[in-house]
Amino acid sequence: MTDPMAAPTVEHAVQAAGFDRPVGDPGQSRSVVISTSGMVATSHPLAAQVGLDILKAGGNAADAAIATSAMMGLVEPMSCGIGGDLFVIYWDAKTEKLYGLNASGRSPYAINRQVFQEKGLSEIPLHGVLPWSVPGCVDGWEELRSKFGTMKFDKLLQPSIAYAEAGFPVTQIIAGYWRSGEERFREWPDSAKTFLNDGKAPREGEVFRNPYLAHSYRAIAKNGRDAFYKGEIARQIIDFSENNGGYFSMQDFADHTSQWVEPVSTNYRGYDVWELPPNGQGIAALEMLNVIEGFDVRTMGHNSADLIHLFVEAKKLAFADRAKFYADPDFNKLPIAGLISKEYGNRQRARIDMQKAATDVDAGDPVLSRGDTIYLTVVDKDRNCCSFIQSNYHGFGSQVVPGDVGFVIQNRGQLFNLDPEHLNTLEPHKRPFHTIIPAFVTKDDKPYFCFGVMGGDMQPQGHVQILMNLIDFGMNVQAAGDASRVNHVGSQTPTGTPMWKSGGEVGIESGVTPEVKAELQRRGHILREAPGSFGGYQGILIDWKNGTLQGATEARKDGVAVGY
């Protein structure tokens, strides 16, 4: 087994920004961040700093994660916020156990498939009030805080309230995301007044204020999660819904609950990789790892034609299962144990032709005798670890801000299927299929690597590529995220609808050589240049031998890893 702490095996002589970088992968954007007491990594520097300040003030990983999440909802509002959902994998140092939190919301009681039939719609719209599901974020905060946290909301939300009132500078990549909402916001006056200045999104370097969100955060700081689900925030959302053709009721919000779940795992070359079970897509990463483990990946070579081909074919198999089997387990008996078993992985592996790309992949039989998200990770001085992911689904979710609340409502309900025979079919008070997934790795029953990769369908693909880079190719945590990635797109939507029967397309970053691209095309892969569609990674690795934390964040986002 390769030592994951070893230096990368590529040549290290590089020219970067006019100077020689003495160590590291030629593609490595920055050095690993190393600290001893605590660390936070996420996709905005100010949010990471807010979390670190909470750690320094005596808070733990749960406290810091909530404070960081609240700040991310302010500074990257297109990707996340209290109008969306979240999921968490948490390592509790006291009990030495992993816990999973599913804080995803459900469809309205009043909505059903007939609603869309009567409107002449064959699928759920992407924007507007029809794809709304109850936001789970605030209840998720409360569940995490009450179970593991040490601080109250007034302390945790105060930094974000202050920045919302005084303003924060908009960073480069986030400014680009923000511009995507300009035109559609003009259809929704509350959205425009909340997120546009004189009809325009804030540009890079501009200071932006959101006093409406500050007011909502103050209500939560004073009255807790009930301010959102039973108080003034819920009432504003319900009033807007009723006046604009939506289906929300106060009962939808009053009845909302999060759920603590058992994380599930597979062992990959001696490392236990943990994900959450459906309604999310985390087990797709476990399915892929079980298939890939049967090959000598290191001998193939990093980003070789053989490795990329294997990776893409394993992904096709896992995502065919995803389209058929991943749904709300409260409504279905799902074959999760079978899907992530080694025996099933062996059978799936036999379906791969290493010389030819599959063009029509059906789901296996596991019965055995366009997405915007933020990820953050925190490890504290006691080695409590929080792997935390939060999303509105598409950029700015439904695009709709309901009144003066200061945030958009997610469009996660768009991922329901309208086929009555599908496991993920739309039904009242049901959780839709979800793309956002936190990840965690343990070694010898101790926490080892707390990480995630944001970005829709890229997320399980990113998890697998990060782990191969770290475990198979011995990259450090920074190089593992910076290395060129691939992103297979297509064949089927998350709702199970076929997109095309060509086997999809393989997005390739620039670090993959022309020779490898030519060989992939020879094997039948359709390649495309796809800048910006390769996710966003954050990770913290625990070095128990030296008593340090090693943090990483990648250049594809605006964020940082910070420690003390």
Catalytic residues: 373
In the chain, count H helices and then E strands: 20, 21
Hey, what are 439's tokens?
A: 């990840």
β pairing state of 505-508 and 526-529: parallel
Is residue 460 within 8 Å of 281, Cβ to Cβ?
yes
Question: Rounded distance, CA 373 to CA 85, Å?
Answer: 10
- Kindly report the number of other CB atoms within 10 A of residue 224's CB atom: 20
- For the chain, the straight-line distance linking the first and the last C-alpha, in angstroms and rounded, comes to 32
Give the DSSP letter string of 206-263: -EE--HHHHHHHHHHHHHTTHHHHTSHHHHHHHHHHHHTT----HHHHHT---EEE--
Q: How far is CA 114 from the centre of its chain?
A: 31
* Torsion, CA 527, CA 478, CA 100, CA 471, rounded to 10: 80
Segment 20-28 long-range contacts (CB within 8 Å, at least 24 positions apart): 24/476, 24/478, 24/479, 25/475, 25/479, 25/482, 25/483, 27/479, 27/482, 27/483, 27/484, 27/511, 28/476, 28/478, 28/479, 28/482
- Between the CA of residue 314 and those of 103, 352, 446, what are the distances in Å? 29, 8, 29
Segment 464-470 long-range contacts (CB within 8 Å, at least 24 positions apart): 464/285, 464/288, 464/289, 464/292, 464/311, 464/314, 464/315, 465/311, 466/537, 466/539, 467/268, 467/271, 467/273, 467/289, 467/441, 468/292, 468/297, 468/307, 468/311, 469/302, 470/4, 470/541
Question: Rounded distance, CA 161 to CA 406, Å?
Answer: 12
CA-based torsion, 168, 170, 174, 176: positive or negative:
positive
The set of residues, in sequence order, having a beta carbon less than 8 Å from that of 335 and lying 6+ positions away, is 325, 366, 367
Question: Rounded distance, CA 109 to CA 432, Å?
Answer: 14
CA-based torsion, 400, 402, 407, 413: positive or negative:
negative
